[in-house]
Amino acid sequence: MTALIQSLLNGWNLLVAALNAAQPLAALAARIYVGYAFFLSGLTKIRDWDTTLALFADEYKVPLLPTGLAAVMGTGGELVLPVLLVLGLGGRFAALGLSVVNAVAVVSLAEIAPAALQQHMLWGALLALVAIYGTGGWALERFAWPRLRAALAA
C-alpha cells in the first residue's frame, strides 16, 4: 500500500513539474490569441476610418466620450496594447487596458450576439489571468526591467 501511494505521489509530482514547465508557453499562447484578435480589429478600423466613425456614431454607444475621441482611443488601444501584450512588455498594463477596451465594447453594443459575448468573456478571462499572474517566463519584460533598474541604479 505504501509503495502504491509513493508511486502515485511520484506520478503526481511529475505531472505538476510538466505543467509548471508548460506555463510560459501557455501564457504566451494566451497573449498571442487575445492580442491577435484585438490587433485585427484595430486594423479593420483604420482601413476605413469614415466607416469607423460612422459605427462609433450610430452603433457603438460609448458612454461619456465624444464619438471621435472614442473612435481614436478604441482604435489606438486595439493597435498598441496588443503589441505590448504579445511582446510581454508592460504586459499587465496592456492586459488591463485591453480589459477596458473589451468591457467598453460589450457595454457599447446595443445588441450583442451570444457567440460574440462568449468570445468577449473568453478574452476577458485570459486578460484577467495575465493581469493577475503576469506575462509568464517568455516575455521581454523579464529581460528589460532588470536591465532598466540596473541602469537607473548606476
- Please tell me the pTM assigned to this model: 0.91
Alpha carbon distance 48, 55 (integer Å):
11
Residue 3 has a pLDDT of 93
Residue 149 has a pLDDT of 87
Residue 128 has a pLDDT of 98
Residue 2 has a pLDDT of 93
Residue 61 has a pLDDT of 83
Domain boundaries, the chain: 25-153
Residue 112 has a pLDDT of 87
- Classify residue 65 as exposed, middle or buried by CB count within 10 Å of its CB (0-12, 13-18, 19+): middle
Show the cell assigned to 10: 511520484
Mean pLDDT, rounded, for 9-34: 97
Locate all alpha helices (DSSP H) within the chain, ordered by sequence.
Answer: 2-47, 49-58, 67-87, 91-108, 114-133, 141-153
Partnered with residue 109 across adjacent β-strands are 60
Q: Which distant-in-sequence residues (6+ apart) come within 8 Å of 35 by Cβ? A: 82, 83, 85, 86
Helix (H, G, I), strand (E, B) or coil at 66: coil
Mean pLDDT, rounded, for 133-149: 92
Alpha carbon distance 95, 128 (integer Å):
7
**What is the Cα Rg of the chain in Å?**
20
Q: Is the pLDDT of residue 87 over 90?
A: yes
Q: How confident is the model at residue 110 (pLDDT cuts 50, 70, 90)?
A: confident
